């Protein structure tokens, strides 16, 4: 499209008008919104002010200085609507803007109408613009349209940044490789090995990368890695509907994806509950276990030989104290009526718990007798909400069938060489923990 020149304006009739071609049903401009047609006439009428202010460029093309705020007043609409009108005029080839920089307003060029252009099927960009224009009056849909436009703009910037980062990375790797090679040769020369590079298999970067790779393989094959992998897959599935919606918030696919995502989350939230019975690390749990077996052996007599049900005790202690260490300081009240808290450790808390469970040989108790007893100290009981949560944890573990400690850490395998990848990368599972078989003798730790 050619720009309207100064001579055209000076020699033409001067009155406000809307081009007749805008109303021709066979015209390319017929489907343009009424506000945009009206705005085109207003902008052309502004040429008189441009001539007066000598707003003419070096090519003798006349332009306008019309800020968004001024257009808001003249057109009687809001900022978003002004931008929508300008975009549609530009889409139909009737408007151009040039930035002047330095916080100056843009130059607006009104373009000539192509009277020979007939109605045709709009391109995807034109269809998208018209769809966004159709909903701009509705506040919510207008926000969605604006957000979608910003997303497209952001995606373009991201792609540009990715391309720049790609070539920058290549240049950095090339320079880094040359720098490392020269430094490595110089170091070997200084050490008397000659001016040559260390073989790749023996180089520090290769050994470090190999070590990281082995650790990642171990992590991936461990229980923690498997759980993490499944979690990532679930999160990816859950996020896909919302990503599709953000890509195309006004499209049918985006709206359907959003609805599907909301329904999916509601179903998963109501049906699936993932609970862990332990908060401690595997090592702290083993120390707590060992301490309780010590109390069993220490307090056993000829009349009573104690073997506390440690699984239930460990689960209860984790629910009550979260991630605790037996040697860490802890204040607690042994009895409900105590005025002062006992200054001790979590190990002392476990000993007090043992006394409550097994202190009376004629009335042995289980953890449920303690944490649900209103007469007990609050440091040993659950309130109503905590009790409900704890019972749900136990039910989830029972239904899962993965054992009472499904989140226990697994041990790295030191029993095989690194070239035996099947066994070297397989974690060791703990099936028995350290505990006291007698007052001065511990049992062995069995693993397989």
209 in the same domain as 156: no
Query: What is the C-alpha separation between 140 and 144, in angstroms, rounded?
Result: 6
> Residue 277 domain-assigned?
no
Contact 18, 27 (CB under 8 A): no
Question: Which domain CATH number covers 37?
Answer: 1.10.10.10
- Residue located via tokens 């220490």: 298
> Residue 394 domain-assigned?
yes
120 in the same domain as 37: yes
Residue 345 pLDDT grade (very low, low, confident, very high; cuts 50, 70, 90) = very high
310 in the same domain as 267: no
434 in the same domain as 287: yes
Query: What is the C-alpha separation between 294 and 310, in angstroms, rounded?
Result: 12
Query: What is the C-alpha separation between 11 and 4, in angstroms, rounded?
Result: 12
- Tens of pLDDT, residues 164-189: 788 887 888 777 777 777 887 887 88
300 in the same domain as 211: no
In this prediction, residue 101 carries a pLDDT of: 74
Final residue of a structural domain among 240, 272, 304:
272
> Residue 150 domain-assigned?
yes
424 in the same domain as 300: yes
In this prediction, residue 351 carries a pLDDT of: 93
Final residue of a structural domain among 107, 137, 167:
137
Cα 35-98-144 angle, rounded to 5 deg: 50
> Residue 406 domain-assigned?
yes
> Residue 1 domain-assigned?
no
- Tens of pLDDT, residues 267-293: 655 444 444 667 777 778 888 988 998
Query: What is the C-alpha separation between 212 and 218, in angstroms, rounded?
Result: 10
Q: Which residues contact 188 (CB under 8 A, 6 or more apart)?
A: 194, 195, 196, 197, 198
pTM of the model: 0.39
| Least-confidence region, from 212-216, 224-228, 229-233 | 224-228
Compute φ and ψ for 236, nearest 5 degrees. -65, -45
- Tens of pLDDT, residues 45-70: 888 888 888 889 888 899 998 888 88
229 in the same domain as 287: no
> Residue 448 domain-assigned?
no
Final residue of a structural domain among 176, 198, 220:
198
Domain count of the fold of the chain? 4
> Residue 291 domain-assigned?
yes
Axis-axis angle for helices 79-91, 124-134 (nearest 10): 150
386 in the same domain as 314: yes
Query: What is the C-alpha separation between 262 and 278, in angstroms, rounded?
Result: 31
147 in the same domain as 127: no
Tokens representing 196 are: 């040559």
- Tens of pLDDT, residues 66-90: 888 888 888 888 888 998 899 899 8
388 in the same domain as 293: yes
- Give residue 91's domain range: 6-137
161 in the same domain as 36: no
Residue 209 pLDDT grade (very low, low, confident, very high; cuts 50, 70, 90) = confident
Mean pLDDT of the chain: 76
In this prediction, residue 273 carries a pLDDT of: 41
> Residue 447 domain-assigned?
no
297 in the same domain as 264: no
């Amino acid at each position: 499209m050619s720009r309207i020149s100064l001579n055209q304006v000076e020699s033409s009739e001067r009155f406000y008008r809307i081009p007749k071609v805008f109303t021709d049903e066979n015209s390319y401009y017929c489907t343009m919104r009424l506000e945009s047609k009206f705005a085109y006439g207003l902008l052309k009428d502004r040429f008189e002010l441009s001539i007066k202010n000598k707003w003419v460029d070096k090519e003798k093309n006349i332009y306008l200085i019309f800020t968004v705020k001024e257009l808001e007043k003249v057109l009687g609409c809001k900022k978003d609507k002004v931008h929508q009108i300008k975009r549609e005029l530009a889409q139909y080839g009737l408007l151009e803007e040039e930035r002047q920089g330095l916080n100056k307003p843009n130059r607006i060029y009104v373009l000539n109408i192509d009277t020979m252009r007939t109605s045709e099927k709009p391109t995807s960009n034109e269809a998208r613009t018209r769809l966004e224009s159709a909903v701009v009056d509705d506040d919510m849909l207008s926000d969605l349209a604006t957000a979608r436009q910003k997303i497209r703009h952001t995606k373009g910037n991201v792609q540009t940044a990715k391309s720049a980062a790609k070539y920058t990375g290549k240049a950095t790797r090339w320079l880094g490789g040359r720098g490392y090679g020269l430094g490595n040769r110089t170091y070997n020369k200084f050490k008397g090995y000659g001016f040559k590079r260390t073989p790749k298999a023996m180089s520090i970067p290769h050994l470090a990368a190999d070590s990281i790779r082995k650790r990642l393989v171990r992590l991936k094959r461990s229980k923690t890695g498997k759980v993490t992998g499944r979690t990532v897959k679930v999160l990816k599935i859950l996020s896909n509907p919302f990503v599709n919606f953000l890509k195309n918030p006004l499209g049918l696919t985006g709206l359907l994806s959003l609805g599907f995502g909301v329904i999916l989350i509601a179903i998963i939230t109501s049906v699936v509950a993932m609970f862990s019975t332990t908060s401690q690390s595997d090592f702290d749990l083993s120390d707590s276990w060992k301490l309780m077996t010590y109390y069993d052996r220490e307090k056993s007599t000829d009349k009573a030989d104690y073997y506390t049900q440690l699984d239930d005790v460990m689960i209860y202690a984790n629910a009550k104290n979260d991630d605790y260490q037996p040697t860490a300081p802890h204040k607690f009240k042994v009895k409900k009526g105590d005025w002062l808290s006992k200054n001790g450790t979590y190990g002392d808390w476990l000993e007090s718990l043992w006394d409550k469970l097994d202190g009376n040989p004629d009335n042995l108790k289980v953890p449920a007798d303690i944490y649900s007893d209103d007469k007990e100290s609050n440091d040993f009981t659950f309130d109503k909400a905590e009790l409900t949560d704890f019972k749900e944890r136990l039910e989830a573990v029972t239904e899962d069938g993965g054992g009472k400690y499904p989140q226990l850490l697994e041990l790295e395998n030191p029993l095989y060489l690194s070239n035996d990848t099947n066994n070297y990368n397989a974690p060791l599972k703990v099936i028995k923990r350290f505990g006291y078989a007698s007052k001065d003798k511990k049992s062995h730790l069995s693993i397989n």
